[in-house]
Structure 1
Amino acid sequence: MDPILHISRLSGGYLPGKPILRDLEITVGQGEMVGLIGLNGAGKSTTIKHILGLLKPQEGSVRIRNRTLEEDPLGYRSSYSFVPESPELYDDLTIEEHLELTAMAYDIPKEAFKERAGRLMREFQMEPKRKSFPGQLSKGMKQKVMIMNAFLVEPALYVIDEPFLGLDPLAMRSLLDIMADFKSRGASFLICSHILATIERYCDRFVVLHQGRILAQGTLEELRQQTGLSDATLDELFYELVRRNPA
Structure 2
Amino acid sequence: MNLTVSSSVYLQFNNISKHYGDIQALKDVSFDIRQTEILGLIGPNVLHHGKILSVPHRKQQMFYLPDGIMPYSELPVSRVLEFFSRLFGVQAHRMNTVITQLGLEPTLGKKVKALSKGFNRRYLLAVALLSTQPLLILDEPFDGLDLRQMLGVIDILKQTSSRGRTLLLSIHQLADAQRICDRFILLDGGKLLGMGTLEALRTKAGITEGGLEEVFLALT
TM-score (norm 2): 0.89
- Letter matched to residue 66 of structure 2: P
By how many angstroms is 1:84 displaced? 2.3
SS in 2 for 1:43: helix
Are 2:123 and 1:145 equivalent residues in the alignment? yes
State the match for 1:21 in structure 2.
26
Partner of residue 90 from structure 1, selected from 62, 66, 72:
72
SS in 1 for 2:20: coil
By how many angstroms is 1:19 displaced? 4.3
SS in 1 for 2:64: strand
Are 2:13 and 1:35 equivalent residues in the alignment? no
Are 2:12 and 1:6 equivalent residues in the alignment? yes
Contact 1:196–1:235 (Cα < 8 Å) also in 2? yes
d(CA) in 2 for partners of 1:169 and 1:115? 28
By how many angstroms is 1:36 displaced? 0.8
- Letter matched to residue 72 of structure 2: Y
By how many angstroms is 1:35 displaced? 1.0
The correspondence of residues 45-60 of structure 1 with structure 2, limited to 5 A, is 45-50=50-55, 53=56
d(CA) in 2 for partners of 1:78 and 1:95? 25
Partner of residue 192 from structure 1, selected from 160, 170, 176:
170
SS in 2 for 1:224: helix
State the match for 2:212 in structure 1.
234
- Letter matched to residue 229 of structure 1: I
Deviation beyond 6 Å, 4+ runs, structure 1: none
d(CA) in 1 for partners of 2:134 and 2:46? 28
- Where do 5+ consecutive residues of structure 2 fail to align? 1-6
d(CA) in 2 for partners of 1:206 and 1:22? 18
- Where do 5+ consecutive residues of structure 1 fail to align? 54-68, 70-75, 243-247
State the match for 1:220 in structure 2.
198
State the match for 1:57 in structure 2.
none
- Letter matched to residue 156 of structure 1: P
User: Taking structure 1 as reference, are residues 235 and 19 closer, same or farther at Cα in structure 2, changes over 3 Å only?
Assistant: closer
1:194-243 per-residue CA deviation (whole Å, 9 max, x = no partner) reads 2212321321111111111101111111111111111121111112212x
Contact 1:42–1:210 (Cα < 8 Å) also in 2? no
- Letter matched to residue 126 of structure 2: M
Are 2:136 and 1:130 equivalent residues in the alignment? no
By how many angstroms is 1:159 displaced? 1.0
- Letter matched to residue 129 of structure 2: F
State the match for 1:62 in structure 2.
none
State the match for 2:4 in structure 1.
none
- Letter matched to residue 97 of structure 1: R
User: Taking structure 1 as reference, are residues 174 and 39 closer, same or farther at Cα in structure 2, changes over 3 Å only?
Assistant: same
Let me know the Cα RMSD of the aligned residues: 1.9
Compare the two structures and name the one with the higher strand fraction. 2
d(CA) in 1 for partners of 2:47 and 2:209? 26
Which shows bigger deviation, 223-232 or 198-207?
A: 198-207
Contact 2:41–2:185 (Cα < 8 Å) also in 1? yes
State the match for 1:81 in structure 2.
63
Contact 2:41–2:169 (Cα < 8 Å) also in 1? yes
1:102-150 per-residue CA deviation (whole Å, 9 max, x = no partner) reads 23433x1xxx331221011111111132121023211111111110000
